[in-house]
Amino acid sequence: MSRRNSPAGAGAPHTVRGPSMGSVRIVGGRWRGTRLPVPDAPGLRPTSDRARETLFNWLQPWLPGARVLDLFAGSGALGLEAVSRGAAQAVLVERDAALADALDASVHRLDARDSVQVVRADVREWLRAPLFGRFDGVFCDPPFEAGLWATVLERLDPWLNDTAWLYLESPASAPVEAAGAWRLHREGGTRDARHALYRRGG
């Protein structure tokens, strides 16, 4: 989940408007139907239930046992959905303090601390030091207005296995492509966003 109109989602923290909360729903797997609280932060743009359902149908052959990165995690819906559906581990990276606290609370409530780690960090800086081993996939849904796709993509290589997959969400009006070793596997979209799944090496 990215912050559509807020470049601060990648750098400076958001201003959270009091204790008001929204929520998103885990669509499938062992935590199906679980609501994840989302602090009322400006510009939050959840990936829709329908888009996540489609994405995880695409991913299901590779998901069991996978290690995944959820960058610009927001509510954590993508990373937690992955673990709900069989991924072995997810690392959720989120810069905003209120969102990171909500992620920690969700992980605790789901008793998922053995399989889910929340990292409060700026994604761009965090990716400079690949200390967590290699991952089988990454969700990349940065704040649209910040234009961070190129920076993130150029720093992913040492984090990923040779046949890893990559989910990119970008504006429908200005879709982002992953070049180099990435090959488009499936894509879809809504009026506002393009959803694309890539694989490395073919």
Averaged pLDDT, groups of 10, the chain, 202 residues long: 40 37 89 87 70 93 96 94 98 93 95 97 93 92 86 94 95 91 93 93 68
Every domain of the chain and the residues it spans: 2-200
pLDDT at site 124: 94
pLDDT at site 47: 76
- pTM, full prediction: 0.86
Q: What is the CATH number of domain 2-200?
A: 3.40.50.150
What Å distances lie between residue 80 and 31, 89, 139, 148, 164, CA to CA? 9, 9, 11, 23, 18
CA 18 to CA 66: how far, in whole Å? 37
CA 54 to CA 42: how far, in whole Å? 27
pLDDT at site 18: 39
Sign of CA dihedral 116, 78, 197, 46: negative
